[in-house]
C-alpha cells in the first residue's frame, strides 16, 4: 500500500504507476482518495481489478491537473486494505477523504472503518462512461459501470449511525464536477482548520454581549476547538519587550501600506506599530491563527491604550482570523475560511444601518477590516475614546471594493446545534466620504430588506459577520453538511 505526496512533486496511485504532479504553491487544499473495489470479484472476474485500475489511473491523472493537492492510496479491496489506506491518508492531514467506489462494494467492508474516522468524508460513485449507449450496454459494460449502488449502501449505513458525509455525483471529466469537488475540499479545509486555529481571547469578552458567546454550545464542544484566554499583563510584557528599531522599520512600512492622515502624530503611528509587533509575538507564542480582541479593556490599559485595529487589519490580510469584542468563535471561522478561500477574500464586519428606500445595508466597524479588500489605498487615521480617561490611537479608514460578496454568521440554534446564516449581495460603488472607519453599502440579492432582516432575526442570526468575496453559498452549504450544522441562505 503506497500513497502519493505532492511535496515530492509526484503522486503514486497504485502499483508501479506514477503520475507527475506539477508543484502548486498557491493552494493548501489537500484531497485524499481511497479507490475501493469488491474482493469478491477477484475470482469470477480476474481482470476486473486491473481494468478498474486503468480507469482510475486516468481519473487520478486528470484530477492531478486541477488546483488541488491530490494524495491517493492504492486500490483497496477488502477490510484490511481499506483500513490501511484510511490510516495512511489520515496521517497526511488531508482536508477531505474521497471514498471512490470503482464498483459495488458492500458497506460492511467500509463502514466499521469510517464510522469513527475524524476526517471529513465525501462519497463518489466513479464510472468510466459518461453516457450509457444501449447498443453496447452488455454485461462487461455494466460490470465496469456499477458503482452507484455501492455509494447508496454505505450512505445508508453512515446516515443511520449519524456519521456526517458529503456526496458528489457526476463524471470526473465534467467541469461542473471539478468545480463542485473543489468546493467540497474547501469545505473540508474549513472544518479541519477551525479545530486547528488555537484561538486567543485578548481583553476578555465585551460585557453582556451574549449573542457572541458560543463556547458552551454543544456544537462547539463537539468540534473540539479550545480557546486560550490571555492575561492582559502577558501582552503588556510583550509590548515592553519590542525592539524599538523594529518599531521604526514598521512605521516606515506603514508609509507604503497606508495613506497617513495629517492629523495622526508620529507617536500614534509608533504605538500602532509596537502593538502590532507584540501581537505577532503573542500569536506565534501560542501557534494561533485567530484572535478575539476586546477593545475596551485594551484602551483602558495605559501601557497599551490601543484597540489594535491597525494590527488586526494587517494580520487579517495575511490570513489571521479576527473577531471584535473578544469574539474568538467568529475569529476561528474566519481563519479557516482564509485558508480555504484565500486571505485576500475574507474580512470582518457588522450591519450598522438600513437604507429602506434603496433597499440596502450599511456595513461598518470602527476601524478594522481586511485591508486586502480595500477599494482604494487604506488610510491610517486618528481616533480617540474617552471612557475612563481619554485615549488616542490610530485606526484604519477605507471602503470595501465593489463587487459580489457573501455575509456569513456563525451561531447556535435553540437545540445547541451549529448554524450558519448567509446573505448574498453586492457591495455597491457608492462613496461614503462623511463616514469614517471600515465601511460599505451592501445591497442584498434578495429584495424586501424589511423581511430579510426579520427572517435573519427569526433565525437568531448574531450581529458579527464574516464578509467573503464572491457567492459562497455552495461552500457554506457544504461546510454545514460535513459538520452536521443547519444552514440558511437568505437569497
* Residues 6 or more apart whose Cβ sits within 8 Å of residue 28: 69, 189, 339
> What number of other Cβ atoms are within 10 A of residue 87's Cβ?
13
* Residues 6 or more apart whose Cβ sits within 8 Å of residue 107: 153, 154, 156, 157
Is residue 12 very low, low, confident or very high in pLDDT (cuts 50, 70, 90)? very low
What CATH code would you report for 6-195? 3.40.50.10940
Q: What is the pLDDT of residues 402-460, one digit of tens each?
A: 999 999 999 999 999 999 999 999 999 999 999 999 999 999 999 999 999 999 999 99
Percent of the chain past pLDDT 90, that is, above it, reads 87
* Residues 6 or more apart whose Cβ sits within 8 Å of residue 421: 408, 409, 411, 456, 459, 461, 487, 488, 489, 490
Residue length of the chain: 491
- Beta bridge partners, 354, equal 361
- Beta bridge partners, 200, equal 228, 291
- Beta bridge partners, 399, equal 439
Closest CA to 440 of 395, 404, 392: 404
Per-residue pLDDT at 307? 95
Residue 20 has pLDDT above 60, yes or no: no
Residue 21 has pLDDT above 50, yes or no: no
Residue 14 has pLDDT above 80, yes or no: no
Per-residue pLDDT at 465? 99
Q: Phi, psi (5° rounding) for residue 399?
A: -110, 150
Q: Does domain 200-489 have CATH number 1.10.405?
A: no
Q: What is the pLDDT of residues 128-160, one digit of tens each?
A: 999 999 988 898 889 899 999 999 999 999 999
**260 three-class SS:** strand
Residue 375 near residue 402, CB atoms below 8 Å: yes
What is the β-pairing status of strands 418-427 and 166-168?
Answer: unpaired
> What number of other Cβ atoms are within 10 A of residue 462's Cβ?
22
Q: What is the pLDDT of residues 25-76, one digit of tens each?
A: 345 799 999 999 999 999 999 999 999 999 999 999 999 888 899 999 999 9
Q: What is the pLDDT of residues 303-332, one digit of tens each?
A: 999 999 999 999 999 999 999 999 999 999
Per-residue pLDDT at 27? 52
Extents of the domains making up the chain:
6-195, 200-489
Is residue 127 very low, low, confident or very high in pLDDT (cuts 50, 70, 90)? very high
Q: What is the pLDDT of residues 247-289, one digit of tens each?
A: 999 999 999 999 999 999 999 999 999 999 999 999 999 999 9
Is residue 90 very low, low, confident or very high in pLDDT (cuts 50, 70, 90)? confident
Tell me what the pLDDT averaged over the chain comes to. Answer: 93
What is the β-pairing status of strands 418-427 and 438-444?
Answer: antiparallel
Amino acid at each position: 500500500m503506497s500513497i502519493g505526496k505532492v511535496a515530492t512533486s509526484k503522486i503514486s496511485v497504485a502499483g508501479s504507476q506514477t503520475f507527475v504532479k506539477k508543484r502548486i504553491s498557491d493552494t493548501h487544499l489537500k484531497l485524499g482518495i481511497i479507490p475501493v473495489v469488491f474482493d469478491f470479484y477477484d475470482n469470477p472476474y480476474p481482470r476486473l481489478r486491473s481494468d478498474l485500475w486503468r480507469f482510475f489511473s486516468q481519473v487520478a491523472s486528470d484530477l492531478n491537473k486541477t488546483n488541488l493537492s491530490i494524495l491517493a492510496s492504492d486500490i483497496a479491496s477488502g477490510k484490511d486494505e481499506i483500513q490501511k489506506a484510511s490510516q495512511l491518508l489520515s496521517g497526511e492531514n488531508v482536508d477531505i477523504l474521497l471514498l471512490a467506489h470503482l464498483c459495488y462494494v458492500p458497506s460492511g467492508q467500509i463502514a466499521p472503518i469510517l464510522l469513527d474516522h475524524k476526517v471529513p468524508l465525501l462519497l463518489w460513485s466513479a464510472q468510466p462512461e459518461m453516457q450509457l449507449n444501449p447498443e453496447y450496454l452488455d454485461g462487461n459494460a455494466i460490470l465496469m459501470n456499477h458503482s452507484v449502488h455501492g455509494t447508496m449502501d454505505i450512505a445508508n449505513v453512515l446516515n443511520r449511525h449519524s456519521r456526517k458525509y458529503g456526496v458528489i455525483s457526476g463524471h470526473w471529466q465534467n467541469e461542473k464536477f471539478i468545480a463542485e469537488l473543489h468546493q467540497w475540499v474547501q469545505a473540508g479545509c474549513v472544518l479541519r482548520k477551525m479545530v486547528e486555529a488555537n484561538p486567543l481571547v485578548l481583553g476578555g469578552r465585551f460585557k453582556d454581549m451574549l449573542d457572541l458567546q458560543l463556547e458552551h454550545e454543544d456544537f462547539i464542544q463537539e468540534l473540539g476547538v479550545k480557546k486560550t484566554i490571555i492575561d492582559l499583563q502577558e501582552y503588556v510584557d510583550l509590548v515592553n519587550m519590542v525592539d524599538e528599531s523594529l518599531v521604526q522599520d514598521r512605521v516606515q512600512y506603514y508609509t507604503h501600506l497606508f495613506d497617513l492622515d495629517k492629523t495622526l502624530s508620529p507617536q500614534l503611528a509608533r504605538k500602532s506599530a509596537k502593538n502590532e509587533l507584540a501581537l505577532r509575538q503573542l500569536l506565534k507564542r501560542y501557534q494561533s491563527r485567530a484572535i478575539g480582541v476586546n477593545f475596551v479593556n485594551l484602551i483602558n490599559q495605559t501601557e497599551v491604550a490601543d484597540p489594535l485595529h491597525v494590527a488586526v487589519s494587517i494580520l487579517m490580510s495575511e490570513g489571521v482570523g479576527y473577531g471584535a469584542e473578544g469574539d474568538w468563535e467568529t475569529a476561528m471561522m474566519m481563519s479557516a475560511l482564509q485558508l480555504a478561500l484565500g486571505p485576500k477574500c475574507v474580512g470582518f464586519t457588522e450591519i450598522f444601518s438600513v437604507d429602506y428606500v434603496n433597499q440596502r445595508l450599511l456595513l461598518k466597524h470602527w476601524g478594522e477590516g481586511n485591508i486586502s479588500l480595500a477599494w482604494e489605498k487604506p488610510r491610517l487615521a486618528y481616533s480617540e475614546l474617552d471612557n475612563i480617561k481619554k485615549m488616542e490611537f490610530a485606526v484604519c479608514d477605507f471602503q470595501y471594493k465593489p463587487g459580489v460578496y457573501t455575509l456569513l454568521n456563525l451561531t447556535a440554534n435553540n437545540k445547541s446545534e451549529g448554524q450558519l446564516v448567509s446573505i448574498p449581495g453586492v457591495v455597491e460603488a457608492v462613496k461614503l466620504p462623511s463616514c469614517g472607519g471600515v465601511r460599505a453599502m451592501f445591497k442584498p440579492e434578495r429584495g424586501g430588506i424589511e423581511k430579510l432582516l426579520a427572517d435573519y432575526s427569526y433565525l437568531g442570526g448574531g450581529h458579527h459577520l464574516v464578509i467573503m468575496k464572491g457567492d459562497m453559498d455552495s461552500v457554506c452549504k457544504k461546510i454545514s453538511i460535513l459538520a452536521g450544522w443547519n444552514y440558511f441562505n437568505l437569497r
